[in-house]
Amino acid sequence: MNTSSAPRLAALGLLLLSVITATAQVDVTSKAKVRVSITPLAGAQGAAATQVLTKDLVRTLLIDPVPASGAGFVVSGTADANGVTGQLTSGGQVLVSKTYSGDWRRATHEFADDITLATTGVAGFATSRVAFISSQTGQKELYVMDIDGANIKQLTQDKTISNGPAWSHNGKMIAYTSYKSGYPDVYLIKLDAGTRTRIAFFPGINSGPSFSPDDSKIALTLSKDGNPEIYVMPVTGGSTDRLTRTRGAETSPSWSNTGDQIVYSSDDRGAPQLFVVPANGGEPSKLSTGSAFNTEPCWSPDGKKIAYTLRQGGFQIGVYDVNERSGKTVSTGSGEDPSWTRNSRHLVYASSGSLYILDSVTKLSMRLENGLKNCTEPAVGQ
């Protein structure tokens, strides 16, 4: 062959190569979504489960359900009172074939998460629960719900100000702040037992609890020594270890996934900035997010990123890359109080009284419908 056709052959080879890999996993860094056909599920709960499943996949912001066409990803299965049996195929290949036993809604969410992983390479989060605050009743109370807005439970009826829920990593406890006593105190709810215990009620403010990775400790803001600072204490209550010492206010601690470090917001230098301090004590260091006014940090489960609220006109969601040491805005519109889902890519945040799911890579977002008004302060259980 003459020399001019060699580059064209090489280009053709490259194109063929990219098409072959595309069928295994589509590029999900662009906003082009993966097309998945959902054959309506059979069985007594088939119709309902198909709806739940479709919404779960749409909520990933990565998948576009399309009519069945014989080619590409095809979902099928049955759903009844015993659970879901589900299949995902592509071409002739079976990618998922599984029985999910138990409550059909939960089983459907599990199936959706398997489909999401197989078609996009990104872990799904359809089985997650979200704790949040709503003033639906006229007062700020604590609620939990499935991330699709089902199974809403109002956990408090205190007719006071409730704030800032945090899930334990094992999903069994929620810590939060309440003015139930008249003062801002931190309470611990054990979900299985249905108990609530007041664990921090020092003079001043007690707020912003965050669980350590092993759930044995919480970091929180206390002002008992004259100024709002970050402290660590056992989840059962008791003596505290002080981590910060400034003339500013330190708030919103969040643990790293290893439990070695805690990120928080401090306005000691004027506008609030993010700082990281060793969890056992030491010198704090400032994070260069590139934006003024940084609050409400949340460390991702994989430890690689910190989401936070920044002020840029209104409030926006930022993501700081721990390795690259830089931050960027990932919300379009407005947003506050981010909480990561388990995949360290999607997060839930609040905006204008509603909760939203955001893909921090594509910046796509959609509202989480739950029928409650004035929803704030979301916390995603893993």
Partner 1 sequence: MNIASLLKRTATLALILALVAGCSSPKGKGTYSGTGADGALPGSDVLNPNGVNGEGLAPRPDGNFNPDTDVDYETLAAYTVYFDFDSTTIKASERGKLTKVQEWLAANPGKQLFLAGHADKRGTLEYNRGLGERRAQSVRSYLIGLDVSGSILQTISYGMERPAANGDTEAAFAQNRRVQIGVIKTK
Q: Is residue 307 a contact partner of residue 284, using CB atoms and an 8 Å limit?
A: no
- For residues 359 and 123, give the distance between their C-alpha atoms in angstroms, rounded to a whole number: 12
Closest to partner 1 by CB, 77 or 165: 165
Shortest separation between residue 139's beta carbon and partner 1, angstroms: 11
* Residue from 225, 218, 129, 229 nearest 177 by CA: 218
| DSSP secondary structure of 250-317 | EEEEEE-TTSSEEEEEE-TTSS-EEEEEETTS---EE---SSS-EEEEEE-TTSSEEEEEEEESEEEE
Shortest separation between residue 236's beta carbon and partner 1, angstroms: 7
Closest to partner 1 by CB, 7 or 182: 182
Question: Which residues, 6+ apart, have CB-to-CB distance to 217 below 8 Å?
Answer: 211, 232, 233, 234, 235
Site residues (vs partner 1, CB under 8 A): 140, 160-161, 163-164, 179-184, 187, 194-205, 207-208, 221, 223-228, 231, 233, 236-242, 245-252, 265, 267, 271-272, 295-296, 309, 315, 336-337, 376-377
Which tokens go with 302?
């994989």
Which tokens go with 84?
């879901």
| φ, ψ of residue 22 in degrees (nearest 5) | -65, -35
Q: Residue 32 gets which letter from DSSP?
A: P
Amino acid at 90: S
Shortest separation between residue 311's beta carbon and partner 1, angstroms: 8
Closest to partner 1 by CB, 250 or 359: 250
Closest to partner 1 by CB, 88 or 130: 130
Closest to partner 1 by CB, 39 or 236: 236
Closest to partner 1 by CB, 38 or 307: 307
Shortest separation between residue 368's beta carbon and partner 1, angstroms: 19
The strand pair at 153-154 and 141-146 is best described as antiparallel
